[in-house]
Amino acid sequence: DGGCEGEAMDLHAEEDDLFEGIDEDLWFGLDDGESADQAAASSLAAEVARITGLKPFPAVARRIVAELSVEDWSTHRVATMMESDPSLAATLLKIANSTFYAANGRTSQDVREAVVKLGGQRVRELVMGLATLQLLNGRGRLARRCRDHCAGTAAISRVLAGVVGIPPGSLFVAGLLHDAGRMLLMESGEIEYAKLESRGKDEVPLIERETLGFDHAVLGGHVLKAWGMMEPVPKLVAWHHHPARAWSGGGEVATQLAVLRFADHICDAMENPEQDPTWRELTEGPEGEWAGLSEHRVTTLWRMLEGARAETLAIFA
């Protein structure tokens, strides 16, 4: 009996440790004020621990982020480290030379010039985002479609951020990674997404929660935070299907989340032009209020948004 009692105590201690690994601030934040219950939180914490154990954050990216976190960071050191990861360097150079960042038509000839043009804060955000995307290497049609959707949402988020008048860097990264949790669940096979293609956008997270106790948004936010992603990206990712907490808290996070949700729905509309666009509903809700985006304004921006999406899809092809 004593042995069983000791095992039970160890099990409870392990569950408590897992529960403590859950960030209440990244939990659902639903209108009914739901908080993390013990079973769901332990399940989520175990999944986060499994993923981060199997997929440690890339060492090169970690060194670059550490260098950029000090006051006297060196362009030469950052560029040298980045060049040791050709894929990361090539993608960053493409982004620096995209219409997002190209100034007066000038292009960066190498990574060093790109780092100077973008600046430390943008490079740090982009390196974190691109390195994370490298970890989400699922195969197959659905994984490719999800990655394309994330790239398109990132581009649209950045354009809308400029229109709304808020810093675009974090929103680009949040858009790029907003479905990171879904891609991780695709890899694990815990959710059969092929059977959910006909379900509505907001139905899928409910099915995930019924099956796992958490959804891809909350999982993604926690994994990104565990990998060292700076706020507000983990929070925006965790809340993009559960915006109530952002609306009640207000401030810049509410505006950022409103823009991300618009971008997510607009990208859906571009991918599925035969379906009724859901973004129009957002113009009448809190998203429209926080972002200041009307149906007319979005419609006038449509061609610009399509162009930004197409360019970003080409970068990540």
CA 264 to chain centroid:
11
Provide long-range contacts, Cβ within 8 A and 24+ apart, for 164-169. Answer: 164/255, 164/259, 164/291, 164/292, 164/293, 166/252, 166/255, 166/256, 166/259, 168/100, 169/121, 169/122, 169/125, 169/126
Would you kindly state where each structural domain of the chain is located, as residue ranges? 53-315
Give pTM, 2 decimals: 0.86
Amino acid identity of 167?
A: P
**Which pLDDT score is estimated for 19?**
42
**Which pLDDT score is estimated for 17?**
47
CATH of domain 53-315: 1.10.3210.10
**Which pLDDT score is estimated for 13?**
44
**Mean pLDDT split into 10-residue runs, the chain, 317 residues:** 47 44 57 52 81 88 94 95 94 90 77 93 92 84 93 96 92 95 90 86 88 91 91 94 92 97 97 91 96 97 97 91
Backbone conformation region of residue 197, classed left if phi is above 0, alpha if psi is from -120 to 50, else beta: alpha
Each residue's pLDDT tens digit, 173-224:
999 999 999 999 998 888 889 888 888 778 899 999 889 888 999 999 999 9
| Cα gap 49→59, rounded to integer Å | 18
